[in-house]
Amino acid sequence: MEPETLVEAFTGCEGIFHAASPVTDDPEKMIEPAIRGTKYVITAAADMGIKRVVFTSTIGTVYMNPHRDPSKPVDDTCWSDLEYCKKTANWYCYAKTVAEQDALETARQRGIELIVVNPVLVLGPLLQPTVNASTEHVMKYLTGSAKTYVNAAQAYVHVKDVAEAHVRVYEAPGAHGRYICAEGTTLHRGELCRVLGKLFPEYPVPTKCKDEVNPPVKGYKFTNQRLKDLGMEFVPVLQSIYETVKSLQEKGMLPVLPPGDDVRDNLHEQLMMKPAQLLRN
């Protein structure tokens, strides 16, 4: 991607949504393209007189910090620790953090209204014909390829909510800064597997943790209040999980097995539950 091609593409635009990014932990494929590409977008927008840019970042720029108190909510003021990202070879989070920080500074210098959306792991129906990293996160626990689950926790958001968040921050005159895009529930991987087992008992969902020594990892609490203040209402996490699996089935990526009648009889009520409530039943 070269700056002059962006100038041509941006001609006639009033605003820009920058969502393109490599997704890999290969430093050669991740660092320079993510940082340089984002800088090119901000610079080209400024050169064209475009005043508002919405940048799709990631929760990976927010929470990767071993010194943070896990009991305190993670909000838009939190940043990932670059040295920790390098130490753990998490080059995706490293590159996206540097790209976001550089974009905010470049936007400030060039007079651009830059608004950042930081989604957690995105679930929901697929548009593409292939499995991506987000859907593989769920699919591997249904196919039998994963015999155990890892000792980790994750927050989720529906893909439609991510799209809506971008539109809302673009259209809100007072929108500024960073917006964490998360449904609000953080699930340990064991909880995710138990949810999958409840909703889709026909699949060989693992029941044991790979780490049998340490206590279950507690996930961070993410605040989505800034998006709620713009009128966002988030799809319940159970519905996001269910629609992901149904989409995988419909696209032929996951075999359709005979469902359990007890699950489908009260499906709507189950999807509206909090995960803890479902798992108690």
Residue 69 in this model has a pLDDT that exceeds 90: no
State mean pLDDT over 130-151: 94
Long-range contacts of 198-202 (CB under 8 A, 24+ apart): 198/263, 198/270, 198/278, 198/279, 198/281, 199/238, 199/241, 199/242, 199/245, 199/263, 199/267, 199/270, 200/142, 200/245, 200/259, 200/263, 201/259, 201/260, 201/263, 202/257, 202/258, 202/259, 202/260
Residue 260: its pLDDT value, please? 57
Nearest to 110 by CA among 21, 192, 195, 41: 41
Query: Which tokens hold the place of 128?
Result: 């593409």
pTM higher than 0.85: yes
Q: Name the active-site residue from 51, 72, 96, 160.
A: 96
Residue 264 in this model has a pLDDT that exceeds 60: no
Among the ranges given (63-77, 129-143, 262-276), the one the predictor scored with the smallest mean pLDDT:
262-276
State mean pLDDT over 165-182: 97
Q: What is the mean pLDDT of the chain?
A: 92
Residue 265: its pLDDT value, please? 59
Rounded-to-10 torsion of CA 127, 36, 179, 196? 40
Give percent above pLDDT 90 in the chain: 79
Q: Is 29 noted as a catalytic residue in this protein?
A: no
Nearest to 152 by CA among 66, 215, 68: 215
Which residue has better confidence, 280 or 210? 210
d(C-alpha 195, C-alpha 191), whole Å: 6
Helix (H) or strand (E) holding 145: none
Show Cβ contacts of residue 120 under 8 Å, excluding neighbours closer than 6 positions: 59, 154, 155, 156, 157, 180, 181, 182, 183, 222
Question: Mapping DSSP to helix (H, G, I), strand (E, B) and coil, where does residue 177 land?
Answer: strand
Residue 144 in this model has a pLDDT that exceeds 60: yes
Find the largest Cα–Cα distance for the chain: 60
